[in-house]
Structure 1
């Protein structure tokens, strides 16, 4: 069933962009059925009742609510080149992360200046909506505005399980770290994963993260691209949480 995003489905109509997608791209019409989700767990089966002034109006047929996992995953991803960053955000959404925090690492090739921060962040938020729409995720992660690694690590609660991908020699295998942290705890858990840019975080940034309680993990003998590291580590964390 075709699926559209509507943050306030109680109003009974799609926004301009989703209406355009529904009518022009998907070529749906009055009397057709589709699915509408609000990004906060609610999904409705609806019937299109009208297309007044190129706006799709609908009525609810049935509804389903998806409860969010008690475990929370936050991906703090250092800025990478545009296409790589878009891919990371897309796949993180599909995998079910709760929060995405772009980090302005000193080694990030891509940087976001004050003039473009709002447009960049809005673009990333739209990617999460599109990814959720395509994959069937009923929860859309929040995307924060970019921040410096130190400001981010200093803002976290002590109770969170904090992991940082690292190329340093003292980094321990991911599997062992997850067994000692996620595997040894019960109840709702917050896992924070930091993934660096091309060339890794600087030693100073890793030192700041470790001082805030982050555990450096190795992802194996092969140096992975940033997007590969993020997707691989998130998948492994999810597997461990669900075990």
Structure 2
């Protein structure tokens, strides 16, 4: 069943006003009176709804659904600015894999340089990508997108998290294989995790030192060296296995 995110409180009847949402509902799906869809409001609860009035874009809320598909941990992905459209790819796939927030920052070895105007335009595009991916994957929440113009602003936010992990290529090269699993298994449901990834070329030694001085822990992501757009997806998949699949299997 098609799902849509609706801004505002869940009040029945609800009038949908977003133009893009309305276009998809009534021009693409061609919804008619009586047709049913899933609506997700600001509280993240999915509700079954049916079309009351096609012309007025009104829906009646029928019931709340016990369907929570978010990761047990609130994982924020932070990537050093990558080249091309890699950030678009990361945003789409990280949303599908359960990221709570998606950040990007100007790393020492980032090739691209984006000013404030470009960052705002980029963030708007990424937000639309995340919205579409959240609807497709039946998420309860849409990841927040934040692109930092200054790295100092990004660094000032590290203290907001219960755990900060840094994917470090040198850890993988050295054969480190246990830190990621051990650290994630220690975390409790609801805790906030920041996972930092470098751009093409990785993170500089100075950045690693800065992150560690701020309490971050470096971890390896398996024996193979991953591309900048692949590493966040590996990390989210590993977290899902450790905190969702293995836990469900034990239950």
TM exceeding 0.5: yes
Q: How far does the alpha carbon of each residue in 1:103-157 deviate from its partner, in whole angstroms, 9 at most, with x for none?
A: 1213223332111222211211111111110011111121123244443233222
Match of 1:74 in 2: 76
The 3 A distance-change label for structure 1 pair 22 and 145 is: same
Map 1:1-243 to 2 at 5 A: 1-8=1-8, 9-10=10-11, 12-14=14-16, 15-38=18-41, 40-52=43-55, 56-64=57-65, 66=67, 71-157=73-159, 160-168=162-170, 175-186=177-188, 188-242=190-244, 243=247
Q: Is the 8 A contact 1:162 1:193 kept in 2?
A: yes
Q: Aligned partners of 1:221 and 1:70: how far apart in 2?
A: 26
Q: Is the 8 A contact 2:172 2:225 kept in 1?
A: no
The 3 A distance-change label for structure 1 pair 173 and 162 is: farther
Q: Aligned partners of 2:25 and 2:199: how far apart in 1?
A: 37
For structure 1, the 5+ residue unaligned runs are none
Q: Is the 8 A contact 1:102 1:147 kept in 2?
A: no
Q: Aligned partners of 1:124 and 1:174: how far apart in 2?
A: 33
The 3 A distance-change label for structure 1 pair 92 and 40 is: farther
Shift of 1:194: 0.3
Q: So what's the TM-score if we normalise by structure 2? A: 0.84
For structure 2, the 5+ residue unaligned runs are none
Q: Aligned partners of 1:4 and 1:241: how far apart in 2?
A: 27
Q: Aligned partners of 1:120 and 1:111: how far apart in 2?
A: 12
The 3 A distance-change label for structure 1 pair 31 and 233 is: same
Q: Aligned partners of 1:175 and 1:241: how far apart in 2?
A: 18
Report the secondary structure of 1:144's partner residue: strand
Q: How far does the alpha carbon of each residue in 1:193-240 deviate from its partner, in whole angstroms, 9 at most, with x for none?
A: 001111112222222111111222222343211111110011112322
Q: Is the 8 A contact 2:166 2:216 kept in 1?
A: yes
Report the secondary structure of 1:28's partner residue: coil
- Give the paired residue count: 241
Q: Is the 8 A contact 1:161 1:192 kept in 2?
A: yes
Pairwise CA RMSD of aligned residues?
A: 2.5
Q: So what's the TM-score if we normalise by structure 1? A: 0.87
Report the secondary structure of 1:181's partner residue: helix
Report the secondary structure of 1:60's partner residue: strand
